[in-house]
Structure 1
Amino acid sequence: METGAGIGLYPLHRCKTIYLVRHAQGIHNVDGEKNYKAYMSHEYFDAELTQLGWKQVDSLRKHVHSSGLHKKIELVISSPLMRTLQTAVGVFGGEGYTDMSDVLPLMVANAGNSSRAAISSLNCPPIITEESCREHLGVHPCDQRRSISDYQFLFPAVDFSLIESEEDKLWKADVRETIEELAARGKMFLNWLWTRKEKEIAIVTHSGFLFHTLNALQNECHPDVKTEICSQ
């Protein structure tokens, strides 16, 4: 073993299990993976999921249910962007919403041009949003969020109470967040998780956030773990 990369033992009551979920394919990813400059297009403002993305959501939902994770997860935390919200409610939401129900839906029908039926908030963990697990901030319109009022209309039973401002004050059109700033934000988010009472938490976030946050933690890990958590 490398010096300083030992094995730690922690009492179970001092541990949390977190499930890290990158959102399904967004409309910006299709062109962006071919040409990085496509991420600059305003056409992809707060990009929603593609139809392939929704198939990925359905596939992950089946795994979450068949493995029993849907009974263990106590809380879902989502980045407040369209693609992460759609992924969060699609994977972890309830079944069979009807207009006759007395409870609000997690997502109304066709939210974000999804062509999907409304999603129930019954028999599923609470879903809340948190700004600090957003994607790399600035310059790319796909990473700019819309107003909280717009999201509340589309996702009525999602909890947006942790979001402090109605409009997006974090995203800047001409300033891109540095990798160091993103990693520091990721660490701040993980520290905030320790203040939560829940022990098993799913995080629905973005590839850039995950990669740079986990990369910043690699020196605290055994070399074998480094290789695993720092893969793109």
Structure 2
Amino acid sequence: MAVTTHQIRAQDHRQQRRTAFCGINTLIPILFVITIIAPFLFMMGQSPDSKTTHLQYSTVTGYFEQDEPDTDPRGYDFASHNLGLIERKYYTDAVFDPHHEKSQWQRFYFHVDELNAHAAPGVQFKVLYLGRHGEGFHNVAEALYGTKAWDCYWAAQDGNGNLTWSDALLTPKGISQAQYANAFWRTLVTDHGIPLPQTYYSSPLLRCLATAYYTFSGLPHTPESPFIPTIKELLRESIGVHTCDRRSSKSTIHELYPEWPFEEGFAENDPLWVPDLQETNAAMVVRARSAMDDIFSADGKTHISISSHSGMIASLLEFLGHRKFRLETGQAIPVLVKAEMVNGELPPSGETPWKKIDLCTEPPAPLLPNREGEDDGDGRGRFMLDVIAH
């Protein structure tokens, strides 16, 4: 199995992190207000500094296949569908491409620029390129044990004695998925004549950082839009219980990606994750909105890349008014978003932000569809048996 320098360096921090977390149960009563109550209020929109205006978001449909109700998410591959961009005419073509010489992507970029140029005060348009991380070792483990056993027992463990999935790293397949995306972006630039995204953001979890690295490194970035992702806490996966979603320290992340900046206020150690409470879906939607408020308020660029997770991307799509569109590992979805500043406070969610999770006390029996080790077509039958073995 090929192991990269990033994988090795990340693995070196595992033992230190286990030691740091060994006393967490004794600290929870002391830190309850800091780690639970404060995030509750923050994520559920109960800030003491209420606002008289807020951003109202919507998806502008008719531009991407993923917008359309008859596009099946199952097995949909963004690269083989040109990211889903629909072949169509725009009213701006008469000015930008009267002789029909430009590519669809070039005409789309110009069209979005014109939408912004002629937008009403307080209105802006951005294209979000939402990418799910490549396959991680936690994905392999869940497939091995089955979702029921994974959720009730294995997800709360750091690993199984042979495989570690706390703040899970990418598998070789996950790295290949990101490299596949890299090749697609290179083709988009060379064959379709469009620039790369102008700004990059990533979840702080290692699998997303690595996915961003392998997806966008080595591409022809311009000095005006370099590949220097900002690491944002709010873009992470559902918080709590699952150790794969417990992030590494700021120092560890900085050692792996020393040139990538953290957002202001990024804590050294994970301030949100706890072992026995799980963030609710409603709270994730509120958190997703907060992340977008930060980006839309502070980032003047139009084309934004976000490396994140299936749960967070689903939450983003929900509050953006996009239809449900589940992404497989390594997949991406573009969304044309309209944001309008409107009067009035954003109503609080009113939902409970955390829920108690009842975990199993004993490990359930694993699911082994390839129990005899027969290959499943891509060599993963043997690989899956290897990683589950104690």
Into which bin does the TM-score normalised by the smaller protein fall? 0.7 to 0.9
Name the CA distance, whole Å, in 2 between partners of 1:91 and 1:163: 27
Matched, 1:231 2:325: yes
**What is aligned with 1:42?**
158
**What is aligned with 1:205?**
308
**What is aligned with 2:342?**
none
| Equivalent pairs, count | 193
Name the CA distance, whole Å, in 1 between partners of 2:60 and 2:129: 21
Name the CA distance, whole Å, in 1 between partners of 2:305 and 2:319: 20
- Residue 57 of structure 1 and its aligned partner are, at CA, apart by 0.8
* Structure 1 stretches of 4+ moved >2 Å: 5-14, 38-41, 69-72, 161-164, 215-218
Q: Deviations over 1:146-180 (max 9, x none)?
A: 11001111111111243521000011111100110
Report if the CA contact (8 A) 1:129-1:163 is conserved. Answer: no
**What is aligned with 2:141?**
31
Q: State the one-letter code of the partner of 1:11.
A: L
Matched, 1:62 2:183: yes
TM-score by length of 2: 0.46
Q: Deviations over 1:197-230 (max 9, x none)?
A: 2211100000011113312333xxxxxx52xxx0
Matched, 1:83 2:193: no
Name the CA distance, whole Å, in 2 between partners of 1:65 and 1:71: 10
TM-score by length of 1: 0.76
Change in Cα spacing, 1:183 to 1:94, as seen in structure 2 (3 Å) is: same
Change in Cα spacing, 1:165 to 1:211, as seen in structure 2 (3 Å) is: same
Matched, 1:72 2:176: no
Q: What SS does the aligned partner of 2:314 have?
A: helix
- Structure 1: runs of 5+ lacking an equivalent: 96-122, 219-224
Name the CA distance, whole Å, in 1 between partners of 2:199 and 2:60: 28
**What is aligned with 1:216?**
319
**What is aligned with 2:283?**
181
Q: What SS does the aligned partner of 2:131 have?
A: strand
Q: State the one-letter code of the partner of 2:314.
A: F
Higher CA-based Rg: 2
Report if the CA contact (8 A) 1:39-1:140 is conserved. Answer: yes
Change in Cα spacing, 1:6 to 1:177, as seen in structure 2 (3 Å) is: closer
**What is aligned with 2:358?**
none
Change in Cα spacing, 1:161 to 1:209, as seen in structure 2 (3 Å) is: closer
Q: 1:19 is matched with which residue: 129, 132, 145? A: 129
- In angstroms, what is the RMSD of aligned CA positions? 2.6
Name the CA distance, whole Å, in 2 between partners of 1:72 and 1:29: 29
- Residue 70 of structure 1 and its aligned partner are, at CA, apart by 8.0
Q: What SS does the aligned partner of 2:277 have?
A: coil
- Residue 89 of structure 1 and its aligned partner are, at CA, apart by 1.0
Determine what percentage of the aligned residue pairs are the same residue: 28
Change in Cα spacing, 1:47 to 1:6, as seen in structure 2 (3 Å) is: closer
